[in-house]
Structure 1
Amino acid sequence: MSTTFASLRHPAYRIWFAGALVANIGTWMQRVAQDWVVLTELSDHSGVAVGVVTALQFLPALLISPYAGLLADRLPRRAMLMATQGAMGVLAAALGVMILTDVVELWHVYVFALLLGVASAMDAPVRQTFVAELVPADGLPNAVGLNSASFNAARLIGPAVAGFAIAAIGAGWVFVANAITFAFTIGALLLIRDRDRYPLAHAPRGKGQLREGVDYVRRRTDIVLILVVLGVVGALGLNFQLTSAVMATTIFDKGSGEYGLLGSILAIGSLAGSLLAARRTRPRVRLVLLAALGFGVASGLMAMAPTYELYALAAIPTGFCTLTMLTAANAYVQMSTAPEMRGRVMSLYLMVFLGTTPLGSPLVGWVAEAWGARWSVGIGSIASILIALAAMWWARKAWHVELRYVRGPRRRVMVLSDADRVAEAA
Structure 2
Amino acid sequence: MNELNESAKLKRATYHLYTFLVSKMISSLGANVYAFGMSLFILSITGSALSFAANLIFSIVPRTILSPIAGIIVDRFPRKAIVLIGQAGTVLTISGLLIYSLIFGLSIPAIYVTTVFYSICSTFTGIAFTASIANLVDEERLQKAMSFNQLSLSIAGIGGPIVGGMLFGLLPIELFLVINIVAYGTAFFLESTMNFKLYSKDQEQPREQKEESMIGSFKEGFAYLKTKQVIANLLWVLLLLNMFFTAVNVGISFILVEKLKMDYTLIGFVEAGAAIGMLVFSIYFAARSNVKYPLLFSKRSILGMSILVSAISIPLLIAFSSGVNFVYFFIVMFLFGSLGVLTNTPIGVLLQKEVDENYRGRIFGILEMMAMGMMPLGSLIFGILYDLVPAEYILIISSITLIIIVLVFLRRSVLEIAHPELKAKRMEKLKTLEAVK
Aligned match of 1:408: none
C-alpha distance in structure 2 between counterparts of 1:239 and 1:113, whole Å: 26
- Post-superposition shift, 1:321? 1.3
Alignment of 1:17-28 (within 5 A): 17-28=21-32
Q: What is residue 220 of structure 1 aligned with on the other side?
A: 228
Q: Does 1:62 align with 2:72?
A: no
1:128 Cα deviation from its structure 2 partner: 0.6
Check the 8 A contact 1:299/1:314 in 2, yes or no.
no
Name the residue aligned to 2:398.
383
Equivalence map 1:67-82=2 (5 Å): 67-82=69-84
Q: Distance in 2 between matches of 1:108 and 1:371?
A: 38
Q: Are 1:321 and 2:322 matched, yes or no?
A: no
CA distance in 2, matches of 1:303, 1:203: 52
As a proportion of its length, which structure holds more helix? 2
2:343 is paired with a residue whose SS is helix
Distance 2:105 2:126 in 1: 32
Amino acid at match of 1:20: K
Cα distance in 2 for residues equivalent to 1:348 and 1:415: 34
Over 3 Å counting, the alpha-carbon distance change for 1:333 and 1:383 in structure 2 is farther
Partner of 1:297: 307
Deviation at 1:135, TM superposition (A): 0.8
Q: Is this contact kept in 2: 1:334–1:346, CA < 8 A?
A: no
In structure 1, stretches of 5+ residues that fail to align are 1-5, 403-411, 418-426
Which has the larger displacement, 55-64 or 117-126? 55-64
Matched, 1:338 2:361: no
Q: Determine the structure 1 residue equivalent to 2:280.
A: 272
Pairing partner for 1:396 from 411, 422, 430: 411
1:199 alignment partner AA = S
How has the CA–CA distance of structure 1 residues 301 and 219 changed in structure 2, closer, same or farther, with 3 Å as cutoff? same
Pairwise mapping of residues 146-161 of structure 1 onto structure 2 (< 5 A)? 146-161=148-163
Report the RMSD for the aligned CA atoms in angstroms: 4.1
Q: Residues of 2 paired with 1:390 and 1:287: CA distance?
A: 16
| 5+ residue gaps, structure 2 | 1-9, 316-321, 428-437
Q: Letter of the 1:334 partner, please give it.
A: Q
One-letter amino acid of the counterpart of residue 12, structure 1:
H
Residue of structure 2 in register with 1:285 after alignment: 295
The letter for the 2-side match of 1:104 is S
TM-score, with length taken from structure 2: 0.74
Rounded to whole Å, the distance in 2 between the matches of 1:381 and 1:330 is 29
Partners of 1:20 and 1:274 in 2: CA distance: 14
For residue 242 of structure 2, what is the aligned residue in structure 1? 234
1:204–1:67 Cα change, 3 Å: farther
Per-residue Cα deviation, 1:176-207 (whole angstroms, up to 9, x for no partner)? 5333311121010223368x933353532213
Q: Deviations over 1:321-341 (max 9, x none)?
A: 122222222221221112222
Whole-angstrom CA distance in 1 between matches of 2:251 and 2:284: 27
**Bigger CA radius of gyration:** 2
Q: CA deviation at 1:10?
A: 1.2
CA spacing shift, 1:163–1:400, aligned 2, 3 Å: closer
- Distance across 2 between alignment mates of 1:398 and 1:176: 54
Q: How far did residue 103 of structure 1 move?
A: 4.3
Q: Give secondary structure in 1 for the equivalent of 2:135.
A: coil
Q: CA deviation at 1:81?
A: 0.8
- Structure 1 residues 140 and 42: alpha-carbon distance in aligned structure 2, compared to 1, 3 A threshold: same
Query: What is the aligned counterpart of 1:104 among 98, 103, 107?
Result: 107
* 8 Å contact from structure 1 (residues 155, 263) kept in 2: no
Paired residue total: 394
The residue type equivalent to 2:30 in the other structure is G
Q: Distance in 1 between matches of 2:338 and 2:186?
A: 28
- Superposed CA deviations along residues 332-380 of structure 1, whole A, max 9, x for unmatched, are 1221112222222222222222332233344455567x469x95x9957
Moved more, 135-144 or 271-280: 271-280
Contact 2:246 2:375 in 1 (8 A): yes
Deviation at 1:271? 2.0
So what's the TM-score if we normalise by structure 1? 0.76
**Aligned pair partner of 1:203 in 201, 207, 214:** 207
Does the 8 Å CA contact 1:145/1:275 hold for their aligned counterparts?
A: yes
Separation in structure 2 between the aligned mates of residue 302 and residue 211 of structure 1, nearest angstrom: 41
- 1:354 maps to which residue? 372
Task: For 1:94 and 1:241, locate their aligned partners in 2 and report how far apart those are by CA, in whole Å.
Answer: 33
Q: Give, in angstroms, the shift of residue 413 of structure 1.
A: 13
Q: Could you tell me which amino acid in structure 2 is paired with residue 73 of structure 1?
A: D
Name the CA shift for 1:382/1:219 in 2 (closer, same or farther; >3 Å): farther
Deviations 1:95-148 (A, max 9, x none): 57778986433x555444333332222222201122222212343233122222
Decide whether aligned partners of structure 1 residues 159 and 263 sit closer, same or farther in structure 2, where only a CA change above 3 A counts: farther
Please point out which of 142, 145, 156 is paired with 1:143: 145
Separation in 2, partners of 1:309, 1:217: 44
Instruction: Give the letter for the 1:132 counterpart.
Output: A
- C-alpha separation in 1, matches of 2:188 and 2:227: 37
Which residue in 1 is equivalent to 2:430? none
